[in-house]
Structure 1
Amino acid sequence: MAIVGYMGSGKSTVGRIVAEELGWKLVDLDEAVAKRAGLSISEIFESSGEPHFRNLERRELLNALEGPRESVVACGGGVIIDPRNRARLVEIQTVFLWEDTDVLYRRTRGPDRPLRGVSFEDFSRRYAERLPYYLEVAAFQIEPSGRPPRRVADEILEWIRGE
């Protein structure tokens, strides 16, 4: 399964809880890309640009989804930009964490975020551009709305288990 959403939506945190509960492997896509490149995400963007990062991201997504054991893939916020990624994500259980733009913007002001210098207007525009893609791949949508990650994960687990 995969968890998608915009930067700061809690994909990695919620994904970790879901993976632990299911006994599945967690693949944090941004961490996998950074490890493969030997650079942080910000360093990849700065040194090689977004197209290079997206190529690395696509390869790591395919590796994660073709792995030998079940896994929860916490995707990067822009994974849905590539139509090849979207085509693969619609084939599996993909969850979209739909969060308020103001909340996301506040959460993403850290120094290790690729869009850290982006204005609120640009941040909101990017989210609006990506929203149809998140909705396209989502088999399940959830709005965290300030709830603890554990409660969000529990709702995803109920959906997966058909409860």
Structure 2
Amino acid sequence: MQAILIGFMGSGKTTVGQLLATELGTHHADLDDMIVQRAGKTISTIFEERGEAYFRQLEQQTLRDAIAQPGILSTGGGTPTIAANAAILKASPVPVICLTANDQTILGRVAQDTGRPLVDELGSQGLMALKQKRAALYRAAADVLVATDNLTPEQIVAEIKTRILRPVHRLAANG
């Protein structure tokens, strides 16, 4: 991988990941999609039939495999909140970029997406409580934080490219 995107739901991981991959001329992978493909079942079905422990085991193995592949990886919102996954992310030589957004931005984005059962289950207050609970875990797993409030996906990609490509330019300039 060239970059790994983490963050709360609605932070823009998938949208930004796809655009970043296109601009860098590489592949985009979504960890949740990879898990679904590997299991041959939806995530909700995996949880129902095998439980969270099995899902997390599958997620951890899929994360390890994904990091070894080229491209940009967008993780699930809960991925870095599991200690084993956070350790994998921190040990990776790939930059881990946490996309952040304030509560209003997140709520505005997830309200438009009907495919998020957790939004319906928790409601706005519960969702923001979960976001707050996870914030420190995201920061701990990340190498770089990028605030996405009031930015278009293109502007977010430009910021990420500046941050992850800057060391390459510095090395090239020094010789």
Structure 2 length as normaliser, TM-score? Answer: 0.83
| Map of 2:173 onto structure 1 | none
The reply to whether residue 155 of structure 1 matches residue 167 of structure 2 is no
| Map of 2:136 onto structure 1 | 132
**Contact 2:21-2:27 within 8 A present in 1 as well:** yes
**Contact 2:5-2:98 within 8 A present in 1 as well:** yes
| Structure 1 residues 38 and 122: alpha-carbon distance in aligned structure 2, compared to 1, 3 A threshold | same
Q: Secondary structure at 1:119's aligned position in 2?
A: helix
The 5 Å alignment of 1:39-50 reads 39-50=41-52
Structure 1 length as normaliser, TM-score? Answer: 0.88
| Map of 2:80 onto structure 1 | 80
| Map of 1:94 onto structure 2 | 96
| Structure 1 residues 9 and 102: alpha-carbon distance in aligned structure 2, compared to 1, 3 A threshold | same
The 5 Å alignment of 1:30-69 reads 30-67=32-69
In structure 1, the gaps of 5 or more residues are none
Q: Which amino acid aligns with 1:131?
A: A
**Contact 1:45-1:114 within 8 A present in 2 as well:** no
Once the two structures are TM-superposed, the CA of residue 47 in structure 1 deviates from its matched residue by 3.9
Q: Structure 1 CA distance, aligned partners of 2:134 and 2:84?
A: 15
* CA-based RMSD: 1.8
| Map of 1:146 onto structure 2 | 150
Once the two structures are TM-superposed, the CA of residue 49 in structure 1 deviates from its matched residue by 3.5
| Map of 2:28 onto structure 1 | 26
Q: Structure 1 CA distance, aligned partners of 2:115 and 2:52?
A: 15
Q: Structure 2 CA distance, aligned partners of 1:84 and 1:8?
A: 23
Once the two structures are TM-superposed, the CA of residue 4 in structure 1 deviates from its matched residue by 0.3
Larger radius of gyration: 2
Deviates more, 1:119-128 or 1:99-108: 99-108
**Contact 2:81-2:138 within 8 A present in 1 as well:** no
Q: Structure 2 CA distance, aligned partners of 1:7 and 1:65?
A: 21
| Structure 1 residues 134 and 155: alpha-carbon distance in aligned structure 2, compared to 1, 3 A threshold | same
The number of residues matched between the two structures is: 161
Q: Secondary structure at 2:122's aligned position in 1?
A: coil
Q: Which amino acid aligns with 2:32?
A: D
Q: Structure 1 CA distance, aligned partners of 2:42 and 2:103?
A: 25
| Map of 1:115 onto structure 2 | 118
Q: Secondary structure at 2:136's aligned position in 1?
A: helix
